[in-house]
Structure 1
Amino acid sequence: MSDKITFNASDIAQLLGISRSAAYELMHREDFPTITIGKRMVVLQNQFYEWINQQSKNTPVK
């Protein structure tokens, strides 16, 4: 998957270990960097990893 420029819902589900429907829910969040191309929803790979890093900074470690 590392040679892809964008990730789709299936890719995100696999990367995060969540269901595809949960990935679609994530992609509809306002704070998630989704791009709509026609009817396709994708996220740029670098923006996905930036979003993940930002989430880890906002989540306190227990």
Structure 2
Amino acid sequence: MTDKTEIGYPLVLTANEISELLQISKPTAYEIMNRSDFPLIKFGRTKRVMRQDFLLWLEHKKNKEKAQN
């Protein structure tokens, strides 16, 4: 993977891009995308997420983890 910031990613992210950002496997990225709290956009069988929605979701997850500890 090349060194990218989230700004270097497209406006709409795929599972592959999420796996790169989080440094996880692509199947794990799909598991995350299937969560009920994930801001998923579906086009038929295609799954995507808006970059900004993903970053907000991730920030929310981080804050929730901090509050639980």
TM-score (ref. length: structure 2): 0.81
CA RMSD of aligned residues (A): 1.7
Structure 1 gaps, min length 5: none
Structure 2 gaps, min length 5: 1-6
Count of aligned pairs between the two proteins: 62
Give the one of 18, 26, 35 matched to 2:24. Answer: 18
**Partner of 2:4 in structure 1?**
none
Inter-partner Cα distance in structure 1 for 2:38 and 2:9: 21
**Partner of 2:37 in structure 1?**
31
2:42 alignment partner, SS class: strand
TM-score (ref. length: structure 1): 0.89
**Partner of 2:60 in structure 1?**
54
Residues 21-59 of structure 1 show CA distances to partners (whole Å, capped at 9, x for unaligned) of 000000000001110012210000000000011011101
- The percent identity for this pair of structures is 31
Greater share of helix: 2
**Partner of 1:44 in structure 2?**
50
Inter-partner Cα distance in structure 2 for 1:5 and 1:22: 21
